[in-house]
């Protein structure tokens, strides 16, 4: 298929996708104040080439987000601001006239597609005593990780594999994947990625005994609310993060996977993130790109083989379903989302509230699950709008194995 044919099909695909998007509506969350994101340390440049890439980026953003204003329900008078920060990054902000103070109605970072030196490091557990280190480079390098328990002293090393993927005209960087270990529990390790890198990262392994704390967030995205969520999570002193789907909200536009990698790297490089895919990871276009989950499977390798699975899309879970009937021996389901997704808050619930639905709230935030011992765990929900470390909701969970009535 020629490039021109692909482009024509792509246009029709997005016209079709745009029509689907227009059939949905979402409540838009409150506007966020201007966020401050650390910039890459690159020389400033406003050359014609840089301006051209920014204009092209804006065009592609509009093309790939035909329904974005409909996602937010945004129909407002106002103006936009485009700040050229340096040779690699620019900031687009939409300011609405009805906002009395200097707030941002919509915000997005634009990145020079031809220059992306960031590593986008993230780690994930592999079995009880190993860690997978993943990162991306523009050039071919040996996939090696050097690591140790003292800063600057890397007494151990391991090598791994390198891969890449294509999506329409997008070519990913070199995706490196290295498993290190065995590692000691509850220990801080320092590491560098690649044979010549001087940028040091660190992570702490999970404890071998209880208690252990999980941070849990879904529908993360890349908005001002995402940044607020990440700041709250970073301050929670968690051991591992669980993300049950909808990571980058790339939605076909592959550079968003790169910007997402940069956005979460401060957290993903120092604590293991265990993720699963959501509908925003599918990215399948009939006739143009038939393979679903291409970017997700290439970038986020989970330990599916170790759990006996044949696909990176899932690993093992067990549970009993009780057909909408309250049962003291049934599992407790926690549906979590709204980590920062661009659609806004999901605040439409079935009424009247059924007895087995205990708590419902529409707010951006994250959850924490602290497994205290073999019998009890504490679940708490933390909202972004709460400036102090408070829990908007909490519940104690009990191990059903200690209840004689629940033994099978």
Using one digit for the tens of pLDDT, what is the confidence trace for 213-223?
A: 999 999 999 99
What local confidence, expressed as pLDDT, does residue 67 receive?
Answer: 37
Decide: pTM greater than 0.75: no
Q: Per-residue pLDDT for 155 more than 50? A: yes
Q: Is 390 exposed, middle or buried (0-12, 13-18, 19+ CB in 10 A)?
A: exposed
Tell me: the pLDDT tens digits for 244-284?
999 999 999 999 999 999 999 999 999 999 999 999 999 99
Q: Per-residue pLDDT for 109 more than 60? A: yes
Q: Per-residue pLDDT for 111 more than 80? A: no
What local confidence, expressed as pLDDT, does residue 74 receive?
Answer: 63
Q: Per-residue pLDDT for 130 more than 90? A: yes
What local confidence, expressed as pLDDT, does residue 10 receive?
Answer: 39
Read off φ and ψ for residue 166, nearest 5 degrees.
Answer: -120, 145
CA-closest candidate to residue 369, choices 209, 185, 203, 212: 212
Q: Tell me which DSSP letter residue 289 carries.
A: B
Which long-range contacts (C-beta less than 8 Å, at least 24 apart) are formed by 67-70?
67/17, 67/18, 67/20, 67/21, 67/22, 67/24, 68/342, 70/21, 70/22, 70/24, 70/25
Q: Tell me which DSSP letter residue 312 carries.
A: T
Domain boundaries, the chain: 27-34+42-115
Kindly report the average pLDDT of the chain as a whole number.
Answer: 79
Give yes or no for a contact between 92 and 81, defined as CB atoms under 8 angstroms apart: yes
Structure-model confidence comparison of residues 373 and 67, the more confident one? 373
Structure-model confidence comparison of residues 361 and 29, the more confident one? 361
Q: Tell me which DSSP letter residue 407 carries.
A: -
Mean pLDDT of the 126-131 span: 93
Percent of the chain, pLDDT > 70?
72
């Amino acid at each position: 298929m020629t490039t021109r044919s692909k482009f024509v099909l792509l246009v029709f695909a997005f016209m079709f996708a745009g029509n689907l998007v227009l059939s949905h509506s979402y409540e838009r969350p409150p506007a966020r104040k201007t966020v401050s994101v650390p910039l890459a340390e690159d020389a400033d440049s406003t050359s014609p080439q840089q301006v051209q890439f920014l204009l092209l980026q804006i065009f592609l953003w509009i093309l790939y987000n035909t329904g974005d204003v409909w996602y937010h329900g945004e129909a407002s008078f106002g103006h936009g601001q485009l700040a050229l920060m340096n040779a690699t990054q620019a900031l687009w902000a939409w300011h609405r006239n009805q906002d009395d103070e200097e707030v941002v109605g919509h915000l997005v970072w634009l990145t020079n597609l031809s220059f992306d030196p960031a590593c986008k490091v993230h780690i994930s557990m592999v079995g009880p005593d190993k860690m997978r280190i993943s990162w991306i480079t523009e050039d071919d390098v040996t996939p090696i990780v050097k690591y140790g328990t003292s800063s600057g002293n890397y007494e151990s090393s391991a090598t791994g594999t390198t891969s890449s993927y294509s999506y329409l005209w997008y070519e990913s960087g070199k995706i490196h994947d290295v498993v290190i270990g065995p590692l000691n529990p509850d220990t801080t390790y320092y590491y560098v990625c690649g044979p010549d890198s001087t940028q040091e990262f660190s992570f702490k392994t999970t404890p071998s005994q209880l208690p252990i704390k999980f941070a849990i967030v879904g529908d993360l995205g890349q908005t001002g609310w995402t940044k607020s969520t990440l700041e709250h999570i970073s301050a929670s002193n968690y051991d591992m993060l669980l993300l049950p789907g909808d990571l980058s909200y790339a939605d076909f536009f592959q550079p968003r996977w790169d910007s997402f990698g940069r956005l979460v790297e401060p957290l993903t490089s120092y604590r293991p993130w265990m993720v699963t895919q959501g509908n925003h990871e599918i990215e399948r276009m009939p006739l143009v790109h038939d393979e679903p989950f291409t970017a997700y499977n290439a970038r986020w390798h989970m330990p599916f083989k170790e759990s006996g699975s044949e696909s990176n899309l899932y690993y093992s879970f067990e549970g009993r379903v009780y057909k909408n009937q309250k049962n003291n021996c049934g599992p407790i389901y926690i549906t979590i989302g709204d980590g920062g997704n661009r659609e806004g808050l999901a605040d439409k619930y079935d009424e009247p509230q059924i007895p087995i639905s205990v708590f419902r709230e529409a707010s951006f935030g994250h959850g924490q699950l602290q497994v205290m011992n073999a019998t009890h765990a504490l679940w708490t929900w933390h909202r972004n709008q709460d400036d102090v470390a408070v829990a908007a909701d909490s519940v104690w969970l009990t191990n059903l194995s200690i209840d004689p009535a629940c033994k099978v």
